[in-house]
Amino acid sequence: MATYFDTSALVKLYVSEAHSERARREAMRTGQISCTPLQSLELQSAIRQLVGRGTLPATALGLFEQHFDDDRRAHRISETPIDLTSVFHRAERLVRNHTERLLCRTLDVLHVASAVEQKCQRFISADDRQLALATAAGLTVVDVKA
CA angle 38, 105, 89 (to 5 degrees): 60
Domains identified in the chain and CATH numbers: 3-143 (3.40.50.1010)
- Nearest Cα to Cα of residue 105 among 125, 78, 81: 125
| pLDDT at 1 (0 to 100) | 65
Query: What pLDDT is attached to residue 74?
Result: 95
CA 43 to chain CA mean position, Å: 8
pLDDT in single tens digits along all 146 residues of the chain: 699 999 999 999 999 999 999 999 999 999 999 999 999 999 999 999 999 999 999 999 999 999 999 999 999 999 999 999 999 999 999 999 999 999 999 999 999 999 999 999 999 999 999 999 999 999 999 999 99
Q: The pTM is what?
A: 0.93
Residue 58 and residue 90: Cα distance in Å, rounded? 38
**Residue 139 contacts by C-beta under 8 Å, 6 or more apart in sequence?**
4, 112, 115, 116, 120, 121, 122, 123
pLDDT number for residue 43? 97
At 133 the pLDDT is 98
46 neighbors 14 (Cβ within 8 angstroms): no
